[in-house]
Amino acid sequence: MWDDSNPVMVQGRTIRTWSFPSRDVEAVQVLMKTDGRPLSADVDLWQGPDNNPQKISIYIEDASLRPFTAAIATPKGQNTVAIQNSGQMEFPLAASVATKDFDDLLGAIEDLYEMSIAETVQGGAVKTYSFSPSVRSVHVLLKTSGRPLNARVELLQGPNNNKQVMELYSDNGTERPFLALIATPGLGNVVRIKNIAPLEFPLLAIVEPLIVDTDRRYEDFIAEGGNIRESGLFSNGLPL
């Protein structure tokens, strides 16, 4: 989940950028973690000086226990990923931005669609997914039919106890979907998806277990809205 071959330290209140001018780089993987302290950061995708087609604001209570991992599509070349550590000076973070094969990203999305149940979340609506303690991490995929994507993703442990929050915008949820991995250690993990766009901008959401502790005996892995089901994903088989 974490590639520490080339991490860059980003001090609090500073920005680091990674440029990918080549059209051959069609996707990147963004990873961030701390030494156990909170993480507060903004990740922006720039395509030219005035075009900011995708941005993500992240808060994580403990980014050593729950590092940030996401894939960002970078089509058409001339892309720059900027990471701003919005935390205080005493809260540095380690960041890595690595190139990904776009076919791998598309393959991950296609695998999730084939093996999972996509839920439509209307504008202004909220969808929650509760996971058993055997689930150690989950994939979250959000996309649209080509319209803008504007959503908030939260990981909770207990009522109103946010362990991780991601607020994201993409100008085209088909060309630039949101695909992230969320670590879910401990008990009582709930992923909450809120579509913060207007009613006429629905999104499709897939939230599925990625790594499951098979030593623990739980018959069901996901409970959503009172319906309990078993997931189709049980391994680290996707390329994220």
Which CATH number goes with the domain that contains 25? 2.60.120.680
Beta strands, E only, the chain: 8-10, 15-20, 27-33, 39-47, 54-60, 68-73, 79-85, 93-100, 119-121, 126-131, 135-143, 149-157, 162-170, 178-183, 189-195, 203-212, 222-224, 227-229
Residue 63 in any domain: the answer is yes
Query: Residue 227: what pLDDT?
Result: 45
Same domain, 78 and 176: no
What percentage of the chain carries pLDDT values higher than 70? 82
Residues 198-225 have pLDDT tens digits of 999 999 999 999 889 877 555 456 655 4
Give strand pairing partners of 72: 28
Closest C-alpha to 89, from 36, 8, 11? 11
Phi, psi dihedrals of residue 35, rounded to the nearest 5°: -90, 20
Kindly provide the b/e burial profile for residues 73-95, where b requires at least 16 CB atoms within 10 angstroms of the residue's own CB. Answer: bbeeeebbbbbbbbbeeebbbbb
Most confident of 20-29, 35-44, 96-105: 35-44
Query: Residue 103: what pLDDT?
Result: 60
For residues 168-193, average pLDDT: 96
- Our count of domains for the chain comes to 2
Q: Assess contact for 60 and 164: CB atoms under 8 A.
A: yes
Asked if pLDDT for residue 52 goes beyond 70, the answer is yes
Residue 84 in any domain: the answer is yes
Residue 112 in any domain: the answer is no
Query: Residue 232: what pLDDT?
Result: 45
Place of tokens 């009522």: 159
Residue 233 in any domain: the answer is no
Same domain, 70 and 168: no
Asked if pLDDT for residue 3 goes beyond 80, the answer is no
Give the integer Cα–Cα distance in Å for 57 and 103.
26
Phi, psi dihedrals of residue 115, rounded to the nearest 5°: -100, 0
Query: Residue 235: what pLDDT?
Result: 38
Report pTM.
0.88
Residue 6 in any domain: the answer is yes
Q: Is residue 13 left, alpha or beta, with left meaning phi > 0 and alpha meaning psi from -120 to 50?
A: left
Residue 66 in any domain: the answer is yes
Asked if pLDDT for residue 121 goes beyond 60, the answer is yes
Q: Strands 135-143 and 79-85, how do they pair?
A: unpaired
Asked if pLDDT for residue 129 goes beyond 90, the answer is yes
Range of the domain at 40: 1-100
46 pLDDT band, cuts 50/70/90, is very high
111 pLDDT band, cuts 50/70/90, is confident
Same domain, 60 and 130: no
Query: Residue 188: what pLDDT?
Result: 94
Residue 110 exposed, middle or buried by CB count within 10 Å (0-12, 13-18, 19+): exposed
Same domain, 59 and 151: no
Asked if pLDDT for residue 226 goes beyond 70, the answer is no
Residue 240 in any domain: the answer is no
Residue 52 in any domain: the answer is yes
